[in-house]
Chains A and B, each alone.
Chain A
Amino acid sequence: MDALSFWDYMLILSKYALVIFSFIVIERSLRSMLSEKYDNEIWAYIRSGKERIPVYHWENLLGRSASADIRIYAPGISGVHAVLSRNDKGQWKVYDVFSRGGVWINETQAGYGGAPVHNGDTINLAGTRLGFIELEEEKIGRLEKKRSVAGSRVFPAVTLIWLTLFQGALLMQHLMSCEAEYAGRISLAFTAVIVLEWFCYTAMRMINKSGFELETLAFFMTSLGISVAASSTPEDMYKHAILVIASVFLFIILGWWLRNLRRASSMRIPFAMLALALLGLNLFAGNSIFGAKNWLTIAGYSFQPSEFVKVFYVYVGAATLDRLYVKQNLYEFVAFSAICVTALALMGDFGSALVFFICFLIISFMRSGSIATVVLAVSAAVIAGLMAVSARPYVAARFATWGHAWDDIFDKGYQQVRTMSAAAAGGLFGKGAGNGWLQSIVAANTDMVFGVVSEEQGLLIAMSSILAICAIAVFAVRSARHCRSAFYSIASCAAVTIMLSQVALNVFGSMDLLPFTGVTFPFMSRGGSSLISCWMLLAYIKGSDNRREASFVVRPAEKYSRWEDPRLQENNSGNKAGKAGKAEVKKS
């Protein structure tokens, strides 16, 4: 063995450093997201006898059931009786959700379309009288100040410094291994990400937002994605850097859009149409790459519409609480989902179809709470799946290969066995960025990306990437109970479900634990559509982050009623609500 050179030592040192940095980044993000106190916001009070019950959300279920947000024990009250909800402008409404006893506001009956309720009004639920105390802005502001601020114990800037060190070490490894002509581009891409993340952080701090864990984890995985791109297609680094910037830009745009609940929820139908149009266009004008006809080329740019449809799908699947109790809305969503999944299956993109289907299960379960619906949906999907397998021989072939990849290493098991071999070759600490061989295999940087990361950065960092997604998932579930609106809870859980399903299908597919379906790994797989859609999905999760001063997607509580003259507002929205209400009644 030759004596080790200085650079050999640097490589070994950087491998260990990368693992340490990534663990610190994940640990700090997890600790910040899960261990810090997550206090509820208080928006109003309900007076029930002498008791004063705080109203924590914008959408609250009133009823006798244990799962009601405001639980009222009295004769005549249904398990699920009424929904008390608030809009962005601070106006409250009460909806009767098919109760037996009915709902009245100061003697006026509130129908399914809802009736406005103001400070001091009496809400009469089947004879039980409740007082409604609306909080003034000042009071809300005072209560808000009592909540714990996100990032007060684990400083996000420090986590970001560790992430920057991680990226620096990664870049150094690339510079040691890459060809000289690409050094500039690779450095530029890494620098772009580092600048971008610090820019985002500074911007967030400037608008007084301190929750940066989700972005940190996303930037962590995006950096690994850049590393994979630098190994596999170093000539494309400019493009990749631009895609990262575009993704983060769209993340901010979608986040900003979601800030206004009414604006957001009113666009569900147009977005559903857009999603169907994209799928339709893809189905008829798409081109086929690697078996699945899921690519669309417009003006020389190829992209995968199904990736963007994911973003729309989550948007369409999310719904405010009052809508959840109208069965028709769920049926419409089921029909929409069936069209999406069928369209994807027709394109031959069974991986995406499966991702959509899992997401559908979670959304429909969250909306209906019905296990029966889930069982029914799964059985229908199994039947459809069997039909697909019999109709498309290559799908059947994939199933036949599943678990036996090593029996057919030149054809059907080609990608799996190479992924496994390269991943194992990396050991715990990897070969160093740019030193792998798997990246030269077709689709290595997308469908087999977990193998590339395992080979170059080692098992520990590859596991960190799974852990990062899991951390985001746990946080989304934790946040779901604190959201102002069901819209944000559902969207966030749906978004994280898509990420988790993709991780499972990508990792286990390429490792022969599941059939190989060619699904991308969130944030890491190369490909603009996938990267953009993942960042946009992150905006939904960001929307559920209701910790004090944490997320730019969530408006600060005390600033709401400052905007406009409440009186004027009341008239306008009263009319609109009335119209919407009528339409709603007709439908149901």
Chain B
Amino acid sequence: MKKLTGRAISVLLILALVLFGTGIYTVRLFEKGNDWALYFSRLNSGSSGVLHDRNGVLLAEFSRSGSFYAEDELTRKACFHILGDYEGRTGSGLISTFTEDIKDYSIFTGTTHSQDYEFTLTLDSYLNRVAYESIGEDREGCVLVCNYKTGEVLCMVSLPSTDPLYYDPDPPSGTYINKCLGAAFVPGSVFKLITSAAAIETVSNIWDRKFFCEGEGEIAGVKIACVDPHWTTDFRTALSNSCNYAFAQIAVTVGQDNMKKYVNQYGFTQRHELNGITTAAGNFETGYMGDPELAWAGIGQWTDLICPFALLRYVCAVANHGTLVEPYIIEGTEAKTEQLMKQSTADTLHEMMRFNVTDHYTDERFPGLHLAGKSGTAEVGDGTNNSWFTGFLDDEDHPYAFVVLIEKGGYGLADAGAVANSVMQAAVRSN
């Protein structure tokens, strides 16, 4: 028996392994408990939350009995990016962003209990559906609509999207990025709006200048091409015709210091926040540029990148006489205002953008909307285009600004412009 019982000590070896493992677990818990706990617990805190759109449509609801999304599939897909999901697949999204604020962790107490909440979004899920369908699932891009007088974001859609109810293990790339907020793109001609503002402020004889374009021109020996020859244009018609050569010369005249100054001042290179969701910063060359580079940068190429949300802020400010009402998406958010640009500059640009439509795009494309806008078709560098259309309604009852981006093909006015029209028609009809 003594022999046998001596061997029983081997059980203690297993016991030692159990204690050793428990020790390792405890150390890891102290090290990483914060990350572990907050990752899922913020969504599973025992509190409950409800998110409605501005018309009372249920978008998301979670409580101890479960978590739910909107009832119909189209709404779930169209609102996927702004809401995010309960599992945290999207980095941003209101579901996870909110709950982040209301959770706290310490090893002693674990996560502390949060409060129940109910939020109404300024979003109109109907507009999201319209925007989603007018881009269509075979294309990629995003749509943003905002009330420039109040700052309410009415529409925010990003494609490709997914149905959060059904997990797709192999989604198309970009599915989990909210392109409205979380990414920056080559702007192309919509960037001329910024170059224009800089010119209005810094080039005193800008209205007297005449530009001559034969379909292409040279800046310091480097060719700048236009789609068509624009012949003789002035500042106003250069914008409405979107003459690259003219804007290349304007950018060079404005100079790189001024260009950099205004791009920064208008908020294109900074990150912004939309109810706690941090947006992507854009890019504008910070190093020295020669005239050809500056010329390309001035027409939205070179290393330029802008986030659709930053462009939305900019057109909101233009529409609202230079005063930006900072966009928000949760009802009841205190709207901050900021003088983004001089009122005179904004009003001048406003008038020029309206002129773009009356002179070039024509009101027939946007029946009844009284729209001011600017299109853009940017070369991405991989042979594809980003087509943009941005602008606003010059309409006291429907003060809406918008940004439409369609990636990988299409042309600014024909494609993005058509989406903008459908969404704005729907916005005017329903509000």
Report A's interface with B, CB cutoff 8 A: 2, 56-57, 59-61, 65, 67-69, 321, 324, 358, 362, 365-366, 369, 409-411, 417-418, 420-431, 435-438, 440, 455, 458-459, 463, 466, 469-470, 473-474, 476-477, 480-481, 483, 486, 489-490, 493, 496-497, 500-501, 503-504, 507-508, 511, 513-514
- Asked whether A497 lies within 8 Å of B14 as measured between CB atoms, the reply is yes
In the complex, which of the residues B4, B10, B15, B66 has the most CB atoms of chain A within 10 Å of its own CB atom? B4
Chain B's interface size range is 35 or more
**In the bound complex, do residue A473 and residue B89 qualify as a contact, i.e. CB atoms below 8 Å apart?**
no
Contact B1 A507 (CB under 8 A): no
CB contact list, B59-79 vs A, under 8 A = 64, 66
Which B1-53 residues have a C-beta within 8 angstroms of A? 1-12, 14-15, 17-19, 21-22, 24-26, 28-29, 32-34, 36-41, 44-46
Q: Which residue of B lies closest to A455 (CB)?
A: B110
11 sample A-B contacts, Cβ–Cβ < 8 Å, listed by A number? A61-B2, A69-B1, A365-B7, A369-B7, A418-B40, A422-B40, A427-B106, A427-B111, A430-B110, A466-B18, A470-B19
Whether B173 sits at the interface, judged by CB under 8 Å, is no
Give the nearest-CB partner of A508 in chain B.
B21
| Contact B10–A410 (Cβ < 8 Å) | no
Say yes or no: A480-B22 contact (C-beta < 8 A), given A358-B14, A431-B110, A437-B44.
no
Say yes or no: A477 contacts B44, CB within 8 Å: no
- Assess whether A68 is in contact with B3, with CB atoms less than 8 Å apart: yes
Nearest CB in chain A: distance from B33 CB, A: 4
Question: Do residues A504 and B110 form an inter-chain contact, with CB atoms below 8 A?
Answer: no
B288 within 8 A of A: no
Docked-complex contact B40 and A417, CB < 8 angstroms: yes
Structural contact, A470 and B18, CB atoms closer than 8 A: yes
Q: How far is the CA of A411 from the CA of B87 in the complex (A)?
A: 12
Q: How far is the CA of A59 from the CA of B64 in the complex (A)?
A: 59
* Contact call A437/B64, Cβ cutoff below 8 A: yes
- Interface contact B22-A431, CB-CB below 8 Å: no
| Distance A473 CA – B40 CA, assembled complex (angstroms) | 35
**Cα distance A362–B9 when bound, in Å?**
10
Report chain B residues within 8 Å CB of A60: 1
Q: Which residues of A contact B34 (CB under 8 A)?
A: 424
Decide if A507 touches B111 in the complex (CB within 8 Å): no
Residues of chain B in range 375-425 having any CB-CB distance to chain A below 8 Å: none
Residue from B3, B15, B40 in contact with A421 in the complex, judged by beta carbons closer than 8 Å: B40
In this complex, what residue of B is CB-closest to A511?
B25
Select one of B8, B32, B41 contacting A480, CB under 8 A: B8
> Is B8 in contact with A61, judged by CB distance below 8 angstroms?
no
Q: Across the interface, which residues of A come within 8 angstroms of B89, CB to CB?
A: 410
Query: Which residue of the partner chain, among B12, B37, B64, B110, contacts A474 with CB atoms under 8 Å?
Result: B12
What chain A residues lie within 8 Å of B6 (beta carbons)?
67
Q: A362-B14, A480-B5, A489-B8 are in contact. Are A428 and B22 (CB under 8 A)?
A: no
Whether B25 lies near A486 (C-beta < 8 A) is no
What residue in chain A is nearest B8 (Cβ atoms)? A480
- A35–B87 alpha-carbon span in the complex (Å): 50
Chain B residues whose CB sits within 8 angstroms of the CB of A511 once the complex forms: 25, 28
Contacts of B41 in A (CB 8 A): 421-422, 424-425, 437
Residue in A closest to B33 when the chains form the complex, CB atoms: A424
Q: Which residues of A contact B11 (CB under 8 A)?
A: 362, 473, 476-477, 493, 496-497, 500
Task: Let me know if B33 and A422 touch, CB within 8 A.
Answer: no
Interface residue B368 (Cβ < 8 Å from any Cβ of A): no
Which chain B residue has the least Cβ–Cβ distance from A514? B21
